[in-house]
């Protein structure tokens, strides 16, 4: 897992309930987090109990969590808890919040109860809403129940999406192609609403870096050439392959120079006029390394791919694709395809570096992606409103075509098609061989984005997030 997510662990109690019981359960929770390998900042040094219940401690806890740069806050109600301290801490930190408490024991023979954790969760939920703090609720369960571990790990994924989204800088190489008005974006609005930054660089800056690499670091280029020849079928001349490798290295260097975590490139047609190749294979190589690169200067597409991969903690690579054509034999089938930017690891066969479908230049990639269940995602917006299209599909057999491609089947294509056409979406999306739908749905509440499920599964998604065993409808 490539996430480096740290949460602030703030177990809480209330005085009228058993402090020793709360301390005992807080330590048990710590032990469970340790067993799970969770990275967290603790509050044991602030009082003898290592619990949140006092305002003076709350201020110092907030200072520590900020200094540790926690990505999320875990409010574990080890007994009833102190709801206003929880809410004040959460408001101050402005990170995703996980609200949970362990199930209570059976009352003793005298009818006494030590903790009343569940009741406290209800109280804290109300106060968090009063403070305008969004939160994630993990059902009142035992530490050893499977829904606890699943819920915590899903929360880490939510934190990762929020972290990547809020700290996103996209390297924009070249302006959008004139013909692609659909990929237009509002740079100022993205910055004002979401702190998403663009680092625009002209194409000549890319060419300059390529020339520098050719003259000063040819060994780096040859390393990439060797990788391509060992990992792919190369049906282009070595001179073109070296251009692919050089372009890949140059794009990576520029991303590092500008502190960007994703790239959107004007992939046609000025690039071909200057260097004589398509950038698809270079894009594919960078995507394989975990640096998302999207085509046609689609800024919203780059945001989509970052969010999609973050929701899976980087375990699977995204496939930036066109919604292309209907399946000739399946009314709910559709072709996802692009000239060749998909990472090597998604392919169901050894990819080929070749000439693309629509252009005469070398440097595209061709391979059918692996079948199986996939999630489909698209971040987009217009008129100041942004949403995230979400849903499931599965890879299916279909006719041979060129480029990187996957025929998919959804439950109801006409319903999905209407959503894409009516917007705010365009003909681009990201697919991934993982179920990221519930995590991205939950992350939306922290980002000011409306989740938009293209199948009527919202209640099932909520049920899953609340700890139920849910099977989404098989496509």
Q: Is the pLDDT of residue 418 over 80?
A: yes
Least confident range of 176-180, 248-252, 433-437: 176-180
Q: What is the mean pLDDT of residues 340-352?
A: 93
Whose CA is closest to 390, among 323, 458, 324?
Answer: 458
Distance CA(220)–CA(257), nearest Å, equals 17
Least confident range of 2-16, 57-71, 240-254, 349-363: 349-363
DSSP 428-449: EEEEESS--HHHHHHHHHHHT-
Predicted local distance difference test score (pLDDT) of residue 108? 66
Do 296 and 355 share a domain, yes or no?
Answer: yes
Q: What is the mean pLDDT of residues 379-387?
A: 93
pLDDT band at 188, cuts 50/70/90?
A: very high
Q: At what angle do helices 146-166 and 299-310 cross, to 10 degrees?
A: 150
Assess if residue 262 is contained within a domain: yes
Predicted local distance difference test score (pLDDT) of residue 271? 77
Residue 460 domain boundaries: 169-465
Distance CA(212)–CA(217), nearest Å, equals 8
Domain boundary among the residues 134, 166, 198 is at 166
DSSP 255-323: HHHTT-SEEEE--SSHHHHHHSB-SHHHHHHHHHTT--EESTT-HHHHHHHHHHHHTTTTSS--EEEEE
Q: What is the mean pLDDT of residues 94-116?
A: 80
Do 155 and 138 share a domain, yes or no?
Answer: yes
DSSP 77-94: BSSS--HHHHHHHHHHH-
Task: Give me the sign of the Cα torsion angle 396, 364, 184, 172.
Answer: positive
Q: What percent of the chain lies above the pLDDT cut of 90?
A: 79
Do 195 and 275 share a domain, yes or no?
Answer: yes
Do 274 and 239 share a domain, yes or no?
Answer: yes
Q: Is the pLDDT of residue 269 over 70?
A: yes
More confident residue, 318 or 475: 318
State how far the alpha carbon of 102 is from the alpha carbons of 12, 76, 176, in Å. 12, 8, 52
Distance CA(176)–CA(318), nearest Å, equals 22
More confident residue, 302 or 340: 302
Do 234 and 108 share a domain, yes or no?
Answer: no
Do 134 and 256 share a domain, yes or no?
Answer: no
Do 435 and 311 share a domain, yes or no?
Answer: yes
CB atoms closer than 10 angstroms to residue 331: 10
Q: Is the pLDDT of residue 80 over 50?
A: yes
Q: What is the mean pLDDT of residues 343-347?
A: 95
- For residue 12, the 8-state DSSP code is B
Q: What is the mean pLDDT of residues 411-434?
A: 95
Do 100 and 22 share a domain, yes or no?
Answer: yes
Contacts of 210 (CB under 8 A, 6+ apart): 246, 247, 250, 275
Do 368 and 289 share a domain, yes or no?
Answer: yes
Predicted local distance difference test score (pLDDT) of residue 1? 40
Assess if residue 473 is contained within a domain: no
Domain boundary among the residues 138, 166, 194 is at 166
Contacts of 5 (CB under 8 A, 6+ apart): 39, 71, 72, 156, 159, 160, 163
pLDDT band at 117, cuts 50/70/90?
A: confident
Assess if residue 407 is contained within a domain: yes
Do 297 and 440 share a domain, yes or no?
Answer: yes
Do 161 and 173 share a domain, yes or no?
Answer: no
- Model pTM score: 0.94
Q: Is the pLDDT of residue 2 over 50?
A: no
| Domain count along the chain | 2
Q: What is the mean pLDDT of residues 13-38?
A: 90
pLDDT digits (tens, 9 = 90+) for 348-371: 999 999 877 767 678 789 999 999
Distance CA(276)–CA(278), nearest Å, equals 7
Assess if residue 368 is contained within a domain: yes
CATH number of the domain where residue 58 is located: 3.40.50.10940
Domain boundary among the residues 133, 166, 199 is at 166
Do 137 and 180 share a domain, yes or no?
Answer: no
């Amino acid at each position: 897992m490539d996430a480096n997510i740290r949460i602030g662990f703030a177990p809480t109690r209330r005085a009228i309930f058993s402090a020793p019981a709360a301390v005992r359960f807080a330590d048990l929770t710590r032990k469970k987090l340790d067993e799970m390998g969770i990275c967290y900042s603790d509050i044991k040094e602030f009082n003898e109990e290592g619990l949140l219940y006092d305002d003076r401690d709350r201020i110092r806890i907030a200072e520590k969590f900020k200094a540790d740069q926690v990505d999320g806050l875990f409010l574990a109600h080890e007994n009833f808890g102190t709801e206003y301290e929880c809410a004040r801490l959460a408001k101050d930190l402005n990170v995703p919040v996980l609200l949970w408490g362990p199930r209570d024991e059976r009352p003793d023979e005298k009818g006494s109860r030590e903790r009343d954790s569940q009741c406290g969760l209800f109280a804290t939920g109300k106060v968090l809403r009063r403070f305008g703090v969004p939160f994630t609720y993990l059902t009142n369960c035992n530490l050893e129940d499977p829904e606890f571990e699943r819920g915590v790990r899903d929360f880490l994924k939510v934190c990762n999406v929020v972290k990547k989204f809020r700290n996103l800088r996209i390297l924009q190489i070249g302006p959008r192609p004139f013909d692609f008005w659909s990929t237009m974006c509002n740079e100022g609005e993205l910055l004002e609403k979401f702190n998403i930054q663009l680092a625009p660089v002209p194409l000549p800056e890319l060419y300059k870096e390529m020339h520098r690499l050719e003259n000063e670091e040819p060994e780096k280029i040859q390393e990439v050439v060797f990788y391509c020849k060992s990992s792919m079928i190369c049906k282009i001349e070595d001179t073109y392959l070296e251009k692919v490798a050089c372009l890949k290295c140059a794009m990576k260097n520029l991303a590092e120079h500008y502190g960007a975590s994703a790239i959107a490139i004007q992939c046609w047609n000025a690039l071909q006029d200057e260097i004589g190749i398509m950038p698809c294979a270079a894009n594919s190589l960078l995507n394989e390394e975990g640096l998302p690169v999207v085509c046609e200067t689609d800024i919203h597409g780059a945001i989509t791919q970052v969010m999609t991969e973050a929701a899976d903690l980087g375990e699977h690579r995204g496939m930036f694709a066109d919604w292309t054509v209907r399946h000739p034999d399946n009314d709910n089938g559709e072709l996802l395809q692009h000239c060749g930017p998909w990472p090597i690891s998604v392919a169901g066969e050894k990819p080929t570096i070749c000439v693309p479908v629509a252009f005469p230049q070398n440097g595209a990639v061709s391979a059918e992606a692996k079948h199986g269940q996939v999630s489909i995602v698209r971040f987009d917006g217009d008129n100041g409103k942004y949403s995230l299209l979400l849903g499931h599909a599965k890879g299916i057999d279909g006719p041979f075509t060129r480029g990187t491609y996957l025929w998919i089947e959804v439950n109801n294509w006409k319903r999905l098609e209407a959503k894409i056409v009516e917007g705010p979406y365009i003909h681009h999306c990201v697919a991934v061989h993982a179920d990221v739908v519930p995590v991205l749905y939950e992350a939306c509440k922290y980002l000011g984005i409306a989740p938009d499920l293209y199948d009527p599964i919202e209640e099932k998604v909520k049920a899953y997030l609340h700890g139920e065993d849910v099977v989404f409808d098989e496509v």
